[in-house]
């Protein structure tokens, strides 16, 4: 629900915040003016701030929502200064008259001004005092605008990251499937007897990969199945040239993780095995503790090799930052014949 007055759009939350601001102003300045006095003085100053409140509100809002946007923010500084001076004089006169005739004359005649009180000195002093509340209001408004702007920027960055990760996810699926199909074609030419078993293994992997990996976070047990099925497929295809260990420790049911977190990195390493005749060893370790989760993938050979430079590691960082901000650590170690990636998540 909201109210629309001309071009001004005010929602209920803004009305509440403005009401709290002015109520706080009445209470705080009543206490400041009356501190150390008797109860009657508290009452007099309370009446002063309540009765003059419309004067302060109109003065403040004209400057904040009309004068500054129409002059100062458009570079018309002299016009803004002239307008502020004119408003100062007009509302100072109004405030002096209202306070004298409708507050002090009714509630405490001892505070009434002397004859001729509408003189330049009193008008300037009153106007400067009135501008204090305007400055406080504008300071709060600027701070609020900065806060909302910062939050809006953060929201836009969040949406951008979500979009990038969603695109990455849909690019990753065909990328890995294409790699597996290419490897099937290679095996068909070299070792056709392996083909039936590989098709069965590929089918099992794709069942999880395509139909169960839909959420931003999946059970750790499902991630373990995906990695295990993926490695089994390649071990059967490559044979003795790829010795692979898969170690899992801890309570998998207590954790969730982004799907396919290690898979792109493992896939890049496996491609190297298919492109040469060297032997390789790989180890995947997944360790799940109460508030700690560890993924480690190591890959090495007696011969030198180089992982293809890609954006997978950078995307892994973004995914961890998105799902576990300030609660993760990535360690990457590479050498001529060795590569290791460790992902730690602290819940």
Q: Tell me the two tokens of residue 59.
A: 């003065």
Asked if residue 41 has pLDDT above 80, the reply is yes
Using an 8 Å Cβ cutoff, are 62 and 80 in contact?
A: no
DSSP single-letter state for residue 215? S
Question: CA 60, CA 57: separation in Å to the nearest integer?
Answer: 5
CB 260 within 8 Å of CB 172: yes
**Whole-number pLDDT of residue 330:** 92
Q: What is the DSSP letter of 108?
A: -
Sorted by where each starts, the structural domains of the chain and their CATH numbers stand as 2-153 (no CATH), 191-346 (3.30.565.10)
Least trusted range by pLDDT, from 9-23, 108-122, 159-173, 304-318? 159-173
* pLDDT average, residue stretch 132-143: 79
55 closest CA partner among 10, 25, 14, 11: 25
Average pLDDT, the chain: 84
Tens digit of pLDDT for each residue in 195-225?
888 888 888 888 877 777 777 788 999 999 9
Question: CA–CA separation, 324 vs 137, rounded Å?
Answer: 38
325 membership: H or E segment, kind and range: none
Q: Beta strands 280-289 and 242-250: pairing type? A: parallel
pLDDT in tens, 319-338: 888 888 889 999 988 888 99
Write out the DSSP string of 249-287.
EE-GGG-EE-TTSSHHHHHHHHHHHHTSS--EEEEEEEE
């Amino acid at each position: 629900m909201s109210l629309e007055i001309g071009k001004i759009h005010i929602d209920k939350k803004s009305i509440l915040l403005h009401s709290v601001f002015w109520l706080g102003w009445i209470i705080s300045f009543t206490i400041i003016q009356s501190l150390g006095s008797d109860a009657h003085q508290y009452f007099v100053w309370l009446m002063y701030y309540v009765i003059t409140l419309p004067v302060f509100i109109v003065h403040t809002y004209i400057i904040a929502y009309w004068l500054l946007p129409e002059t100062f923010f458009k570079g018309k500084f002299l016009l803004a200064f002239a307008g502020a001076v004119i408003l100062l004089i007009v509302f100072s006169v109004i405030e002096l008259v209202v306070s004298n005739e409708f507050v002090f004359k009714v509630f405490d005649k001892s505070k009434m001004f002397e004859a001729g009180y509408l003189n330049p000195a009193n008008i300037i002093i009153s106007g400067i005092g009135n501008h204090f509340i305007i400055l406080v209001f504008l300071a709060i408004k600027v701070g609020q605008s900065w806060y909302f702007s910062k939050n809006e920027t953060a929201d836009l960055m969040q949406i951008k990251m979500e979009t990038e990760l969603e695109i990455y996810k849909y690019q990753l699926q065909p990328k890995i499937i294409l790699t597996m199909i290419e490897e099937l074609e290679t095996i068909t030419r070299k070792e056709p007897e392996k083909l039936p078993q590989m098709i069965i293994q590929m089918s099992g992997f794709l069942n999880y990969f395509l139909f169960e990996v839909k959420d931003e976070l999946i059970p750790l047990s499902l991630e373990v199945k995906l990695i295990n099925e993926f490695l089994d497929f390649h071990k059967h295809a490559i044979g003795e040239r790829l010795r692979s260990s898969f170690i899992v420790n801890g309570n998998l049911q207590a954790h969730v993780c982004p799907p396919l977190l290690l898979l792109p990195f493992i896939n890049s390493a496996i491609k190297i095995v298919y492109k040469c005749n060297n032997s390789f060893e790989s180890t995947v370790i997944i360790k799940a503790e109460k508030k700690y989760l560890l993924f480690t993938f190591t890959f090495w050979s007696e011969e030198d090799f180089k992982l293809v430079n890609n954006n997978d590691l950078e995307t892994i960082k973004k995914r961890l930052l998105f799902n576990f901000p300030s609660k993760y650590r990535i360690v990457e170690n590479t050498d001529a014949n060795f590569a290791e990636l460790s992902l730690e998540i602290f819940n």
